[in-house]
Structure 1
């Protein structure tokens, strides 16, 4: 079956919490994703196979030219099939349509080739303060 990608897709919190647990190797949380996203996000992209949520990325915005991707996650059994790159491509297209000029991401070192090679981000100087 083909994987479908949906901007601002309709998901339930249990499905997204389960996907996060699977994708990040953590316990299933009880996060109210719907409330969080409606409050803070420009949008999000859901990847579906049949009726199963298999991928997700969140796009937040500064209110101006900058958008940021967060929480990119793909179910473990769907990795290395281009799902993550497709999620980011839809996120970039929709951020551009919303008149954003820049799409930012930060990531752990082991994801470097995914974001630079598969998704087309380029390296830039940046800074970070752990709070």
Structure 2
């Protein structure tokens, strides 16, 4: 089972390799200005290779937000994403967040319900 590391600050190469495989895109966003401002981020490492990741952004107060949950396709269906989300939940609570929000596509509803999230009303404006 992969080791979970809290705030590991993966290199751009590590994140890009995982991101490209997990999201089927050529490059990852530049996380270098993001991670230092996050409440937390958690990496899953198998044999020192980043195989899973989740970022916990926050508003500087009581609201935290799960972002970018991903697991390498070769490592899926092993409970890694569930462990990442549960650890992110624990750390967010420990660091003072009172609410943890997540947005997700409909096919992920069962996964996030299993992790303890409940449905809420929300709004969204597409800006670009």
Question: TM-score, length-normalised on structure 2?
Answer: 0.94
Report how far residue 28 of structure 1 moved: 2.7
3-state SS of 2:33 partner:
helix
- Report whether the alignment pairs 1:115 with 2:104: no
Q: TM-score scaled to structure 1, two decimals?
A: 0.92
Task: Give a deviation string over 1:52-103, Cα, whole Å, max 9, x none.
Answer: 1000000011111110010001000111111001001110111001111110
Count of equivalent residues: 127
Q: Which runs of 5+ in 2 are unaligned?
A: none
Give the aligned CA root-mean-square deviation in angstroms.
Answer: 1.1
Note the C-alpha offset of 1:35.
2.7
**Structure 1 residue 46 corresponds to structure 2 residue 46:** no
Equivalent of residue 37 in structure 1, options 31, 35, 38: 35
Residue 7, structure 1, aligned to residue 6, structure 2? yes
Q: Offset at 1:9?
A: 1.2
Structure 1: unaligned runs, 5 residues or longer: none
Displaced runs of 4 or more, over 4 A: none
Q: How far off its partner does 1:34 sit?
A: 2.7
Instruction: Confirm whether residue 19 of structure 1 aligns to residue 18 of structure 2.
Output: yes
- Report the Cα distance in structure 2 between the residues aligned to 1:78 and 1:95, rounded to whole angstroms: 25
